[in-house]
Chains A and B, each alone.
Chain A
C-alpha cells in the first residue's frame, strides 16, 4: 500500500517542488553569471549577494495585474502557458536522479517511473510543448507575438528532426529506451557514452539550445525585432509560467544529456578500484553536479555568443545538423552490426 501510493506521491511532490525551486534559482544564477561576465555585480539588494532575489521575483509576478487583451482568444490565451509548462514538468517523471536508496526501511528508487520507453516519452512529451508557443502567439491577436511564435515553432520543428534522428543513433548504442537501463549500460560497458557517440552529444546539445529557445538561437525573443517575443501580451503569473517552462526545459535537456552521455548518477570511474572512495558521495549528488555543469554551459553560451540570423539558423538545422545526424546513424548502425 505505502509502496504503491504513498511513495510515488511523495516522490512526485519532492521532484516537482525541487524543480520549481531549482528553476527560480536558475534565473538568479543566470543573472549573476551574466553580470560577472560583463563585469557587473548582478542582483545584490535582496539578501546577501541577492540570494533571496528569486523569492522577491516570484512575489512580484504573483502580485502583478493579470491582463488579458480585449481582442484575445480568451480560452486559448489562458490555456497556452499551461500547455507549455506542464510537458516541461511531467518530463521529470522518467529522469533517474539515482539508483535505489533505503529510506526508513523502505527501498525507494530515486526516479518516479522506470518505463521501457523512457527516452521516447521525453521526446514525445516535449514535442507537445510547441503548442504552448504557437497558441500563445495566435491567441494574443497581436502581430509581433504571432511572428515570434511562427519563428519559434518553425525552429522547434526543424531542430526536433535532427535531435530525434540523433537520439536514434544513441539508441543504437544503448540498445534500450529506458533511462535507468541506459545508465546501467554505461556501468556495464565501463564507458560513458559520450566517448562512443561524441558527435551525437554535440549535436544534441546544439539541438537542446535551439529547442529551449536559448542564445544563440533565441530568435523567438529577439527584442529588437519583435518587442519581446511570443509572450509580449502576457503579464503576471501567466508570463511567469512561460519563464518557468523555459528554464524547466533547460533542466530537462541537461538531465537527459547527463543520463545519456555522462553516466547519470554513476560516480566517475565506477569500475576503477582506486576511485571507489567516490562511492561515499551518493549518486544523486553526482547526477545533480553533472546536470549543473551542463546548465552552467547553457548560461555561459548565452553570455558569450551573439544571436544567429534566421536564415543561418535554418541552414544550420537543415543543411548541417540533419545530414550529420543521418551519417552518424548509418555509421553507428554499421559499427553496431560489424563490431
Chain B
C-alpha cells in the first residue's frame, strides 16, 4: 500500500518534471528540471530496494553528466530561441515517428511482461546480505555479465580517445 502510494507520487513527479524539461523556455531551467527528475528516479530505486543503483544514479547522472550539460548550455550561446529558426515545425515529422516507435516498444514490453510476469521487487529485496545488493551486483557484473560490461567500458574508452584526438591541435 505504502509502496504503491510512494510509487505513484514519484511517477507523477517524474512525468511532471519530464514535461517541464521539454517545455521550459530557458535551457538552464530545463537542465535544473532534469536534475530533479533524475533525483526522483533515484528515490524510485530506493523504494524498490536497489540502493546501490540509486546512489549510482545520483552520482553519475545527477552529479556528473548533467553538470557537463550545464557547462555546454552555459558556454554555448543559446540566445537564439527555437522559434528564431525559419521553420519551427521542421522536426515534427521526426518527433511523431520517434513517439510512435517508443509507444510500440513500450506496448511490446507491456504485452510481454503481461504474459510472463517478473518478480520485480522480490530479488532486490531478498539481496539484503551484509553487503546488500552492492556485492550482488558486483558478482553479477564480473561473472554472468562480464562481456557486456567489458564491451561497455571499451566503448567509453574509445569515446574518450576519440574526443582527445578531435580536440588535439594539428601541428
Decide if B59 touches A135 in the complex (CB within 8 Å): no
8 A Cβ contacts from B56-74 to A: 56, 58-59, 62-64, 67, 70-71, 74
B7 CB within 8 Å of chain A: no
Instruction: Find chain A residues with CB under 8 A from B70 CB.
Output: 131, 134-135, 138
Decide if A116 touches B134 in the complex (CB within 8 Å): yes
Decide if A130 touches B67 in the complex (CB within 8 Å): yes
B14 CB within 8 Å of chain A: no
CB-nearest residue of chain B relative to A128? B63
Decide if B51 touches A176 in the complex (CB within 8 Å): no
Decide if A134 touches B134 in the complex (CB within 8 Å): no
Q: Given A115-B51, A120-B52, A120-B55, do A127 and B28 touch, yes or no (CB 8 Å)?
A: no
Smallest Cβ distance from B23 to chain A, in angstroms? 15
Decide if A134 touches B67 in the complex (CB within 8 Å): yes
Q: Report the separation of the CA atoms of residues A116 and B132 in the bound assembly, to the nearest whole angstrom.
A: 7
Decide if B26 touches A73 in the complex (CB within 8 Å): yes
CB-nearest residue of chain B relative to A139? B28
Smallest Cβ distance from A138 to chain B, in angstroms? 6
Instruction: Find chain B residues with CB under 8 A from A146 CB.
Output: 74
Decide if A125 touches B58 in the complex (CB within 8 Å): yes
CB-nearest residue of chain B relative to A146? B74
Decide if B64 touches A127 in the complex (CB within 8 Å): yes
Decide if A124 touches B28 in the complex (CB within 8 Å): no
B88 CB within 8 Å of chain A: no
B117 CB within 8 Å of chain A: no
Smallest Cβ distance from B41 to chain A, in angstroms? 13
Decide if B29 touches A131 in the complex (CB within 8 Å): no
8 A Cβ contacts from B33-57 to A: 35, 39, 51-52, 55-56
Q: Report the separation of the CA atoms of residues A184 and B78 in the bound assembly, to the nearest whole angstrom.
A: 53
Decide if B67 touches A153 in the complex (CB within 8 Å): yes
Smallest Cβ distance from A179 to chain B, in angstroms? 13
Q: Report the separation of the CA atoms of residues A111 and B142 in the bound assembly, to the nearest whole angstrom.
A: 33
Q: Report the separation of the CA atoms of residues A146 and B55 in the bound assembly, to the nearest whole angstrom.
A: 29
Q: Report the separation of the CA atoms of residues A37 and B131 in the bound assembly, to the nearest whole angstrom.
A: 47
A117 CB within 8 Å of chain B: yes
A157 CB within 8 Å of chain B: yes
A79 CB within 8 Å of chain B: yes
Smallest Cβ distance from A112 to chain B, in angstroms? 16
Decide if B64 touches A117 in the complex (CB within 8 Å): no
A177 CB within 8 Å of chain B: yes
8 A Cβ contacts from A135-193 to B: 135, 138-139, 146, 150, 153, 157, 164, 176-177, 181
Q: What 1/0 mask marks residues of chain A from 100 to 128 whose CB sits below 8 Å from any chain B CB?
A: 00000000000000011100110111011
B114 CB within 8 Å of chain A: no
Decide if A177 touches B134 in the complex (CB within 8 Å): yes
Q: Given A73-B28, A76-B28, A134-B74, do A127 and B58 touch, yes or no (CB 8 Å)?
A: yes
CB-nearest residue of chain B relative to A119? B55
Decide if B32 touches A79 in the complex (CB within 8 Å): yes
Q: Given A121-B55, A177-B134, do A127 and B71 touch, yes or no (CB 8 Å)?
A: no
Interface residues of B (CB under 8 A from A): 26, 28-29, 32, 35, 39, 51-52, 55-56, 58-59, 62-64, 67, 70-71, 74-75, 130-132, 134
The 5 closest A-B pairs by CB, nearest first: A127-B63, A124-B59, A124-B58, A116-B132, A120-B55
Known: A76-B28, A131-B70, A153-B67. 12 other contacts (CB 8 A): A76-B32, A117-B51, A117-B52, A117-B132, A120-B56, A124-B55, A125-B58, A127-B58, A131-B35, A135-B70, A157-B67, A176-B130
Interface residues of A (CB under 8 A from B): 73, 75-76, 79, 115-117, 120-121, 123-125, 127-128, 130-131, 134-135, 138-139, 146, 150, 153, 157, 164, 176-177, 181
